[in-house]
Chain A
Amino acid sequence: MTSPLTDLLDTQGWVLADGATGTNLFAMGLAAGEAPELWNTDAPEKIRALYDGAIGAGSDLFLTNSFGGNASRLALHDAQNRVHELNRIAAEIGREAADAAGRKIIVAGSMGPTGEILKPVGTLTHSLAVEMFEEQARGLVDGGADLLWVETISAPEEFRAAAEAIANVGADWVGTMSFDTAGRTMMGVTSADMVTLVESLPNPPLAFGANCGVGASDLLRTVLGFTAGGAARPIVSKGNAGIPKYVDGHIHYDGTPDLMAQYAVMARDCGASIIGGCCGTMPAHLEQMRRALEETAPGPAPDLAAIEAALGGFSSASDGTGDAAPSRGGAGRTRRRARAKSE
């Protein structure tokens, strides 16, 4: 099976993805609390500018402005009946921007989490989650997205639901999770767990990986975890440009273009082949990342000490994989009787 993404990986060896959506839209005047997806119809010229920013900075692939475009999230803005429309238009604007670029650009239809917890821990049923993702996926495909891009997921149940929805639509896809809690996702998924999860799907993604989370160092530790966990397909690395700070009424990420350039090269050395930024990553960062990836020869994978020295410390001592993982019920207390659940 061939797709524009695998073709590009074959010819170029790596792919530069895009940067932030939210941070860029804020810079264009999006107010806190507004739904970015509504701009697909209310301010399409700004969405085009967002995409053109990534293309102009050298990205080979960009995500559509549809991260929160599922019914659960759009309901906040009373736009739950516009799921297909808002996603279709997000992709249509993307298609136009990509086709006008003069080189091969991949339009990836962004699909973020529903914001709800699936059963059994939460209340959202699997079938309803699949339905919501499917509605969004259809809009993106109908608008001309080359593939779908599931991101910032923390629960394995939600990842599976998105995969099933995409299988129903019959599209190619990429899926990333956000490892922001002691090296795991909020729901406790480790990098190694995700490798197993991805390979257990009937329609595994073309590529998988990590996005957002806590800073570049943590993200690269996760990428190393993917390779150590036996990753059998291309790895995505989309890290934030530093950490968010509040400056003069808006959020500013403190990672410089130089830092992100260093991160991009190290991400490739760690084993990632689809490399981009997440929150705080602007066109200026992407330009430096592209230049660094083109001008630097690939090297051996850095160890954790080298990552820390170059990009800063980790948010936790362990990432939950290997022998160093803290054990459940540890913390030096004596457990009494852990009883099997009855029935």
Chain B
Amino acid sequence: MSQDEDDLVLSELNDEELVLQMHDDLYDGMKEEIEEAVHILLDRGWQPYDILTKALVEGMRIVGIDFRDGILFVPEVLLAAGAMKGGMAILKPLLIETGAPRLGKMVIGTVKGDIHDIGKNLVSMMMEGAGFEVRDLGINNAVESYLEAAVEEQADIVGMSALLTTTMPYMKVVIDTMVEQGIRDDYIVLVGGAPLNEEFGKAIGADAYCRDAAVAVETAKQLIARKHNQVA
């Protein structure tokens, strides 16, 4: 069946059409097609950073909007993120070689006692999709694990996730420890998870509560920009 209506040959598309097709292929989670298209653009002399931003990041931005709006759900977003990662794997070494600009670095993990990492994985992937560097600490993270990684990575952002009402208060333990150690203001702290809300984020002293992965990306961009302005 793949021969009839869909014998679309990526290499025959011009640059503009190919990039738009990549947005659609990301949306549909087609990893092999994304990898093929990344190679085609590289062969045509595109800069890795341009492929990242114009094709992959922009494509994932569209996925993020439809996720936020309740049109796409977790399974589709995971497939899209998988396709994006396929393209990223090709670009990553080239980006380092070419010294492409960096948006920022995030350390992220699910808090102690909590095994649920679906939302956290989505944030992690969407942040990478948006051009951030991400170190994913996985599940069940104690305060030490967050703080050691944040220092080690010279992170800009610490992200914490919790899905259970039994584990969400642990976020405050982490933030309180940062305050005690006098390092709270060195980081942007983002929190998220199904039982949380904005008021909770404020009450525990986070910089922001992020409703979903798309919001996390937008919030991270805004807060990073603000942080840079303060330094400058």
Binding site for B on A (CB under 8 A): 22-23, 25-26, 30, 32-36, 72-73, 75-77, 115, 117, 121-122, 154, 180-188, 243-247, 249-251, 279-280, 316, 318, 320, 326-331, 333, 335-343
Contacts and interface: CB of A to CB of B under 8 A. Distances in A.
Given A32-B173, A33-B170, A249-B172, A326 B69 contact: yes
Given A330-B66, A338-B24, A244 B168 contact: yes
Interface in B80-127: 111-119
Top-9 shortest CB links A-B: A182-B70, A188-B73, A33-B113, A246-B203, A115-B115, A33-B112, A32-B169, A339-B6, A342-B2
B140 A76 contact: yes
Contact of A246 (B76, B172, B173): B172
Given A36-B166, A244-B195, A246-B204, A121 B70 contact: no
A22 to B, nearest CB: 5
B82 to A, nearest CB: 9
Interface of B: 1-2, 5-6, 8, 17, 20-21, 23-25, 27-28, 30, 32-33, 62, 65-66, 69-76, 78-79, 111-119, 139-140, 164-170, 172-173, 194-197, 199-200, 203-204
A336 B27 CA distance: 11
Nearest to B22: A336
A335 B20 CA distance: 9
Nearest to B65: A331
B115 A336 contact: no
B70 A318 contact: yes
A186 B118 contact: yes
A341 B2 CA distance: 7
Contact of B165 (A72, A279, A316, A343): A279
Given A32-B112, A339-B25, A339-B28, 14 more contacts: A23-B165, A75-B115, A76-B140, A115-B115, A117-B78, A182-B69, A244-B168, A244-B196, A246-B200, A280-B165, A326-B71, A331-B65, A340-B2, A340-B5
Most chain B CB within 10 A, of A23, A184, A331, A339, is at A339
Contacts of B194: 180, 186
A36 B165 CA distance: 12
Contacts, number: 147
Contacts of A320: 70
Given A32-B173, A245-B200, A342-B2, A184 B24 contact: no
Contact of B169 (A251, A316, A331, A343): A251
Contact of B199 (A36, A246, A316): A246
B45 to A, nearest CB: 23
B17 to A, nearest CB: 8
B24 A336 contact: yes
Contacts of B17: 336
Contacts of A25: 166
Nearest to B24: A336
24 contacts: A22-B166, A33-B111, A33-B112, A33-B113, A33-B166, A72-B115, A76-B113, A76-B140, A117-B78, A244-B165, A246-B200, A249-B169, A251-B165, A279-B165, A316-B70, A318-B70, A320-B70, A326-B69, A326-B70, A335-B24, A336-B21, A338-B24, A338-B28, A340-B1
